[in-house]
Amino acid sequence: MSQKTVLQPNPVVVVRHMPGAGGIVATSFINKIAPRDGLTIAGVQNNTPFEPLFGTKEADYDPTKMTWLGTPSVETGLLIVWHSSPVMTFADARKMEMTAGASGANSTPSFYARLLNEVLGAKIKVIAGFPGQNEAYLAMERGELDSYGVTFWSSLTSTKPNWLRDKKIRILLQYGPEKEADLPDVPFGPDLIAKEEDRLLMEAAYAPLAAGRPFVAPPGLPPERTLALRKAMLDAFKDPEFLAEAAKQQLQVDKPRSGEQLQAHIERVYSMPASVSERLRKIAQNF
């Protein structure tokens, strides 16, 4: 007879920062070293579950075997342009070249710009070399760039609400696991795709957005411990105090996903045809 797992209402939490390789070090620790008792969990970057799929050699773990606990929200990617840009709509972005800033050729903004070029026929020219998003945004304000390679809705609303209020930008396109309710008139990328393989490619490419801010535990946990952790995580995402604190910090946590949903999402992406993962790696690695 199995023993029921009971989680303490006020557990002692010891935070351990584990930087390195964009979250790969922490994810590898959870996968290989952390005890498989459910007492060690990690909040990792949303790219780490998919680094093996993207061809990152350092990511020597199998995300489908790990125990995913849930995420408080998911992301929506945007293609935006400064209000003075001649590119008025996404249809224009398919006809005329537009510039987008990025830190490097293999950065996230560069990747999503290449994705939109590949799948939706956009004509985005990436200008790499910016130290970060803020510097690229400043270049947009100066009229030196049309866009940034990718902007997330949650980031835009928390860091640049004045851009929306004062109509300093135009949002040409949105993409991710679902349409953003606050953007009913903005085209949704997957709706513009005709070919099934292109649709699967885009779904695989925005898989990190659907992972949101994922929490994970080691593989091989006792089933009752997995169930208890997943329930506790989902309950925390709905807790009034948690929601109030998130609102105070202007963090969007309004689209939680359970551990079961997150696990199914990761397994689905890894089960896609090899031709999809091959195209994905070419876009990610810029060759």
pLDDT single digits (tens) 6-37: 556 677 787 788 766 678 899 999 999 999 99
Q: Which helix (H) or strand (E) covers residue 81, if one does?
A: strand 77-82
Cα 118 to chain centroid, rounded: 19
Cα 224 to chain centroid, rounded: 29
What is the sign of the dihedral through the CA atoms of 269, 275, 278 and 284?
negative
Please tell me the predicted confidence (pLDDT) of residue 151: 92
CATH number 3.90.470.10 is the correct assignment for the domain at 21-73+212-285: no
> 77-205 architecture in CATH?
3-Layer(aba) Sandwich (3.40)
Q: Where are the domains of the chain?
A: 21-73+212-285, 77-205
What confidence tens digit (pLDDT) does each residue in 83-103 have? 999 999 999 999 999 999 999
Q: Which residues of 127-138 are buried (b: 16+ CB within 10 A; e: fewer)?
A: bbebeebeebbe
What confidence tens digit (pLDDT) does each residue in 120-137 have? 999 999 999 999 899 999
Q: SS3 of 36, please?
A: coil
Please tell me the predicted confidence (pLDDT) of residue 6: 56
What confidence tens digit (pLDDT) does each residue in 31-78 have? 999 999 989 999 999 999 999 999 888 999 999 999 999 999 999 999
Any idea what the Cα angle at residue 237 is, between residues 235 and 238, rounded to 5°? 65
pLDDT exceeds cutoff 60 at 161 = yes
Same fold yes or no, 21-73+212-285 and 77-205: yes
Global pTM value: 0.87
